[in-house]
Amino acid sequence: MKLIAISPSLDIRFVTVVLLVMGLSTPGQAEITSLDSANIDDVLNNAGVALVNFYADWCRFSQMLHPIFEESSNIAREEFPETKQVVFARVDCDQHSDIAQRYRITKYPTLKLFRNGMMMKREYRGQRSVAAIADFIRQQQVDPVKEIHSMEEVNTLDRSKRNIIAYFENRDSDNYHTFEKVANILRDDCTFTAAFGAVSEAERFSGDNIIYKPVGEGVPDMVYLGSLTNFDLTYAWVQDKCVPLVREITFENGEELTEEGIPFLILFHVKEDTASLEKFQHEVARQLISEKGSINFLHADCEKFRHPLLHIQKTPADCPVIAIDSFRHMYVFPDFKDLNIPGKLRQFVLDLHSGKLHREFHHGPDPTDSTPGQEETGGEVASSPPESSFQKLAPSETRYTILTRDRDEL
């Protein structure tokens, strides 16, 4: 058998071909844009969709993600060849700490999604594989607006979801482009549909318009009265309708909610008990709208969240139950019926912010409080709130490098 000598360059080409056939190598070089203070706004504002990897070189999870992110970029470039349609970018957070602070990066690596320069609330938290990231990008390219071809279709909409319906004279208009941009940003929060031309004519007696159909049958529609060419006004109105003041917490969105870093005010209720939820929603809107930025208003299924209930010595049979989780401790609202007492729920939240709930945890009720039995005994009756249960839903240290950050110490 005669052996043939292979030159080093030929050897490399031969190995590359073999690897390509086996699917173990990818041709070309990943086009990942490195962002800095000088180019970040220009790059993101001109990208239809941008997936940005916020990383640190010393972080082992960041190192593991780099080749996966690059391969995903290659696939996106092949499937969406228009330069500005999909952009993969990265930020070295050690070199550009100002950018990391701007986008409140609290862990490495963090994958943030941007649309036309606006950062989406929901970052990428899926599987860190080439296939999963590539599929995520494909989903972002799906048109969020479903066209309806007859008005009868409006009557078949799923009323268990929040529906935004728009009527336009034509698709190629500034009005529709504004609506499309809003729909892309809020695609995870509402269902968007639109009718054009003759189909929508009966609904356009005063021009192009947008209506909101709330969840449930028999609930009146709401009409947008602002300018359709004003993105900020349109977005604010639709966001107010699509993102409820009181959101449902699930195991799927728990990490996202805990990462917002503000305490939870939670109503635990049986799923079928809509009356308690409506009462809670009403009182939150009436008493606590000014606290929207300092506490998250949530509701949770008692059956799904049995464990947090057990932490506060409750069971689904005790529902509805209201509690605050400060990420250190859980505090129970005295009685759901106390919602009927004017200002009671608001005071409960203010006591968290003032430190009273935490203070009483260590030292018993404040001397100014008239606690039954305290005057007779003359002693302090310290409460014993359990440790936080929902902090366990925060990002895992086996998946991220969690940065040291100040949390609410209450």
CB 92 within 8 A of CB 56: yes
Q: What whole-number distance in Å separates Cα of residue 333 and Cα of residue 383? A: 13
Q: What is the pLDDT of residues 272-291, one digit of tens each?
A: 999 999 999 999 999 999 99
Percent of the chain having pLDDT more than 90?
71
Residue 381 has pLDDT above 70, yes or no: no
pLDDT at 362: 64
For residue 13, pLDDT beyond 60: no
pLDDT band at 7 (very low <50, low <70, confident <90, very high): very low
- Per-residue confidence (pLDDT) for residue 217, from 0 to 100: 80
Which is more confidently placed, 387 or 56?
56
Res 329 pLDDT > 70? yes
Residue 66 amino acid letter = H
CB-based contact 410:357 (threshold 8 Å): yes
Contact indicator for 168, 113 with CB cutoff of 8 Å: no
pLDDT of residue 85: 83
Which pLDDT value is given to residue 6?
42
Using CA atoms, how far apart are residues 215 and 234, in angstroms rounded to an integer?
20
The pLDDT confidence band at residue 386, using thresholds 50, 70 and 90, is confident
Percent of the chain with pLDDT over 70: 84
pLDDT in tens, 15-32: 333 333 333 444 445 689
**70 falls in which pLDDT band (50, 70, 90)?**
very high
**pLDDT tens per residue across span 133-153:** 999 999 999 999 999 999 999
For the cut 60, the answer to whether the pLDDT of residue 10 exceeds it is: no
Q: What does the pLDDT read at residue 261?
A: 85
pLDDT at 83: 62
pLDDT (0 to 100) of residue 374: 43
pLDDT grade, residue 350 (50/70/90)?
A: very high
Q: Is the pLDDT of residue 266 over 90?
A: yes
pLDDT interval class at 5 (50, 70, 90):
very low
Cα–Cα distance between 264 and 285 in angstroms, integer?
Answer: 15
Confidence class of residue 367 from pLDDT cuts 50, 70 and 90?
low
As a whole number of Å, the CA-based R_g of the chain is 27
For residue 195, name the pLDDT band (cuts at 50, 70, 90).
Answer: very high
Express each pLDDT in 212-226 by its tens digit. 999 888 889 999 999
- With the C-alpha atoms ordered 58, 59, 60, 62, is the resulting torsion angle positive or negative? negative
pLDDT for the residue numbered 24: 40
Q: Locate 352 and state its tokens.
A: 């968290």
What pLDDT is attached to residue 219? 85
Residue 81's pLDDT band, with cuts at 50, 70 and 90, is: confident
Check residue 18 and give its pLDDT: 35
pLDDT at 319 over 50: yes
**How sure is the predictor about 1, in pLDDT bands with cuts at 50, 70 and 90?**
very low
pLDDT at 388: 87
Looking at residue 293, its pLDDT comes to 86
Q: At 2, is the pLDDT very low, low, confident or very high (cuts 50, 70, 90)?
A: very low
The mean of the pLDDT values for the chain is: 86
pLDDT of residue 11: 44
Domains and CATH numbers, the chain: 25-141 (3.40.30.10), 145-242 (3.40.30.10), 246-366+380-402 (3.40.30.10)
What is the mean pLDDT of the segment spanning 332-356? 94
CA distances from 302 to 15, 156, 266, 308, 314 (A): 58, 31, 11, 9, 10
CA distances from 193 to 189, 221, 315, 327 (A): 13, 15, 41, 39
Q: How high is the pLDDT of residue 364?
A: 62
